[in-house]
Amino acid sequence: MPKPHPIATGHLAAFGAYLIFGLNVVFCKDMANSGGINPGLLFGMRALVAAALFWAASAFVKREPVTWRDLLAMAGAALLGLVIPQTTFLYAITMTAPITLSVVNSITPIVTMFLAAIFLREPITWKKALGVAVSFGGVLWLIMQRSDGAGSSSMLGVLLCVVNSVSFACYLGIFRPLIRRYHSVNLMKWMFLIAFIVTLPQSLWGLGRTDWAAVPASAWWEVAYLIFFATFVAYFLIPVAQQRIRPTLVSMYGYMQPIIAAVVGVWMGMDSLTLTKAAAALLVFAGVYIVNRSRAAA
């Protein structure tokens, strides 16, 4: 049986990871609505279980010695790729509608292209500049919305979404050389261990502020999905994709998230699609389209 082409494997890995992330947006919003587990504690649980799973899985892959220099780089990758984006996401989802969060996250490929210009010396054309301006116009429009009712988003929630997107774009755009040197399992076991240690204080703080009796039984299925699929499986697939295709191409699969979140969120009655949100989303995607029409796009 012929082996799959590395590039095809990269695309499949990115597709699978962002499909999981798209569903995760809706499930996390449902958990936020039901109350119960503190967001800081929830990430600590994710990091602890994922670290344990990756360390267990590392027994089945080739052992790779890690230099102190690379360990420091992994610490930076853990902060930008795990701690900052996932913590801001879990807090943002408590005050942000799934559609809004997913639309803001769609600026990640644009930020990744900027990083490619800085670190890979790729030129920024006028089309790229125009596309960035149009997309950020849509994001600013979302930030200025201060509506109440179903599916509303606070300014702080949207700003946390922006931090989430920029941080993850930095992870995708900066750490590819490091990621290509190690097996995905070996890389993730260290990154999640570091992430758990860094977030241990906020996890302990959240532990004392979680009302376990208030957590509905149905929420534990969503917690299980969050920890196993959206953490262990998805973060195994992301470096697999990063090793095989360019960072911008990996982040491009994030465009599935608004579609998945919108369809599932509206279907479950947790979100509403207004004309204003649709117009802001069109601005974001119009900017993305302009950037991707650039001849120098990665």
Please report whether residue 115 resides in a domain: yes
Please report whether residue 212 resides in a domain: yes
Q: What share of the chain is helix, strand, coil (3-state, %, to 5)?
A: 80, 0, 20
3-state secondary structure 10-28: HHHHHHHHHHHHHHHHHHH
Please report whether residue 106 resides in a domain: yes
Please report whether residue 288 resides in a domain: no
Per-residue pLDDT of the chain (298 residues; tens, 9 = 90+): 456 667 789 889 988 998 898 888 778 877 776 666 888 889 999 999 999 999 999 999 999 999 999 999 999 999 999 999 999 998 888 888 766 776 777 778 778 777 877 776 666 677 767 777 777 777 667 656 544 444 556 788 888 988 998 999 899 888 988 998 999 999 999 999 999 999 999 899 888 877 787 788 878 898 999 999 999 999 999 999 988 877 776 776 776 676 666 666 667 665 566 777 678 778 877 876 676 566 544 4
Please report whether residue 132 resides in a domain: no
Please report whether residue 149 resides in a domain: yes
Please report whether residue 134 resides in a domain: no
> What residue numbers bound the domain in which 57 lies?
6-121+141-273
Tokens of 135: 């997309």
Dist CA 174 CA 178 (whole Å)? 9
Instruction: Give the number of domains in the chain.
Output: 1
Please report whether residue 192 resides in a domain: yes
Tokens of 235: 């973060």
